[in-house]
Amino acid sequence: MRTLIVYYSLGGTTRKLAEALAKTLSADVAEVRCSRYGRGTIDFLKACYDSLMSRSPEVEVNHALPQTYDLVLVGGPVWAGHIAAPIRTYLSSRRGQFKRMAFFLTSGGVSTNRTLTEMAEIAGATPQATLALRTADVLGEKYAAAVDAFVRPLKSKAAA
């Protein structure tokens, strides 16, 4: 099964999770890049505002087309209760191009149910599985069991 992991990470937390998922699934990795946001306070506020307002900034992705993969995992941080704006752009620009999908999120602790629903609506697809982890758990490397539980059904559906 060919698997692609697509992620956006401003501070490195989601990148860390994406790399752990890629290792577990032997997946290719594509990073979504967006020059609109930096790591300063003003840029972070701008990023949150853009997500809150459902804006879609320009992005670059360094990998193949999602339709050439059997499974695509898409992930990013939660900003202001919404998916990070660069992931919004990625999902909306590739709507309908996914054979199978799964979503993963990192957040400061806010509820992620609305964000996962938002991602499915933007992508026009229902995810096969979802994973939402708190930033503190990713940074503290307290996520192995959650990652295993997340990938188990993805692997079993591929074998079926």
**Residue for token pair 């032997």:** 26
Tens-digit pLDDT profile for residues 117-130: 999 999 999 999 99
Tens-digit pLDDT profile for residues 75-103: 999 988 899 999 999 999 999 899 999 99
Burial pattern 132-147, b for ≥16 Cβ within 10 A else e, equals: bbbbeebbeeebeebb
Backbone angles phi, psi at 99, to 5 degrees: -75, -55
Give the tokens for residue 155.
């692997």
Give the tokens for residue 118.
């938002």
Global confidence as pTM: 0.90
Instruction: Give the total residue count for the chain.
Output: 160
Mean pLDDT taken over the chain: 90
pLDDT for residue 147: 95
**Radius of gyration for the chain, computed over Cα atoms and rounded to the nearest angstrom:** 14
